[in-house]
Amino acid sequence: MDKSTETQETDGLRKHKKVYIIKGKHKRKKEMKQYISIDIGGTAIKYGVIDENAQILIKKSMETEAFKGGPEILKKAIGIVEELMKETKLEISGICISTAGMVDIEKGSIFYAAPLIPNYAGTQFKAVLEEKFKIPCEVENDVNCAGLAEYQSGVAKGSHVAVMLTIGTGIGGCIILDGRIFHGFSNSACEVGYMHLDGGEFQDLGAASILTKKVAERKQESESDWNGYHIFESAKQGDETCIQAIDEMVNVLGKGISNICYVLNPEIVVLGGGIMAQAEFLGDRIKQAVKKYLVSSIEVNTTIAFAKHQNNAGMLGAFYHFCGVHKKE
């Protein structure tokens, strides 16, 4: 992309949509391959076009409207591909999808999903999109994609054993061994959010979403009066109730991360998701909590780092997964 690269942000004509278009000129002898990448989250779908050098050429977003269920999300995916093919007039070499839920990567389908997206299990992205558009499609879990992005071009690059944790409304994880996602026997490896700690599941105790409930209860106020940003800003101003709730969440994260380290002995643990917004405030606190629960011989050899790619992680990781599947082509 040359120095004249221009970034433009406009509000789309359709409701719930923001459009980001990044244009650049490439001097090349042959046409560079282009891929459509779609990152399906519980709140938003981010999508666009990526070239073979992992440069995001076009980026857009729309609301997931998860309550409408799996069939509607599949329709959105079809519409996205049609829209980008029509808008860019580019020859698309493949469709790359990152999505919430447990994914059968061979079939490119969802086999388990949380109630947030009704009827998502059974959604056949790969079969439907390949049949309709006659180009290859590959699908991978969103946390796995985030981990791949960090391994390929982020803070975990070159590591031999890495763990990626996304911490937001829930907690998800993935394991990367020498650049390859470890999926486990039934594509369910590193579902650490369901891991049991004292008092409940890891994601029920350590996710950022617990903060709002705790602070509202202790202040005897409505949960609607509080959100994560408000809690952290209040903590920075010395609010003891908010500080205590954050410290409790951090302590749970320290326990959970330490337990994972005892099993996997990773070189690096990468933290991403909604927690990234408070990386500066939480970074040292989380490292100290992990140090509290890990024996020193493991702790000194384990790096805790915050993710580099943030909102682009899903799109980039989906692209890297596609390339890994089709690397011989």
Return the minimum-mean-pLDDT range out of 10-19, 73-82, 267-276.
Answer: 10-19
Pairwise CA distance, residues 261 & 109, whole Å: 30
Residue 20 has pLDDT above 80, yes or no: no
Pairwise CA distance, residues 223 & 235, whole Å: 17
- pLDDT for the residue numbered 13: 33
Tell me: do 216 and 277 sit in the same domain. yes
Tell me: do 185 and 95 sit in the same domain. no
- pLDDT for the residue numbered 329: 57
- pLDDT for the residue numbered 2: 42
State the average pLDDT over residues 114-143.
96
Tell me: do 166 and 303 sit in the same domain. yes
Total count of residues recorded for the chain: 329
Q: What are the residues whose beta carbons fall under 8 Å from the beta carbon of 234, sequence distance 6 or more? A: 242
- pLDDT for the residue numbered 170: 86
Is 65 part of a structural domain of the chain? yes
The three-state secondary structure class of 263 is helix
Is 261 part of a structural domain of the chain? yes
Number of domains in the chain: 2
Tell me: do 12 and 65 sit in the same domain. yes
Label residue 39 by pLDDT band (50, 70, 90). Answer: very high
Strands 6-11 and 18-23, how do they pair? antiparallel
Tell me: do 203 and 115 sit in the same domain. no
Is 315 part of a structural domain of the chain? no
| Domain ranges, residue 203 | 155-307
Amino acid 312 reads N
Tell me: do 49 and 88 sit in the same domain. yes
Q: What is the pLDDT of residues 55-113, one digit of tens each?
A: 999 999 999 999 999 999 999 999 999 999 998 877 899 999 999 999 999 999 999 99
Tell me: do 50 and 159 sit in the same domain. no
Output the domain CATH number for residue 33: 3.30.420.40
Is 317 part of a structural domain of the chain? no
Pairwise CA distance, residues 299 & 59, whole Å: 39
Pairwise CA distance, residues 117 & 104, whole Å: 17
Is 1 part of a structural domain of the chain? no
Tell me: do 170 and 298 sit in the same domain. yes
Q: What is the pLDDT of residues 273-303, one digit of tens each?
A: 888 889 999 999 999 999 999 999 999 999 9
Return the minimum-mean-pLDDT range out of 143-147, 150-154, 201-205, 254-258.
Answer: 201-205
Domain end point (choices 142, 168, 195) = 142
Contact (CB, 8 A) for 96 and 148: no
- pLDDT for the residue numbered 30: 64
Is 58 part of a structural domain of the chain? yes
Tell me: do 91 and 161 sit in the same domain. no
State the average pLDDT over residues 229-251.
95
- pLDDT for the residue numbered 114: 85
Tell me: do 160 and 73 sit in the same domain. no
* Averaged pLDDT of the chain: 89
Q: pTM of the predicted model, to two decimals? A: 0.85
Is 312 part of a structural domain of the chain? no
Is 289 part of a structural domain of the chain? yes
Give strand pairing partners of 272: 166
Share of the chain above pLDDT 90, in %: 78
Strands 171-177 and 180-181, how do they pair? antiparallel
Pairwise CA distance, residues 110 & 236, whole Å: 41
Tell me: do 162 and 293 sit in the same domain. yes
Tell me: do 16 and 41 sit in the same domain. yes
Q: What is the pLDDT of residues 178-192, one digit of tens each?
A: 999 999 999 899 999
Label residue 8 by pLDDT band (50, 70, 90). Answer: very low
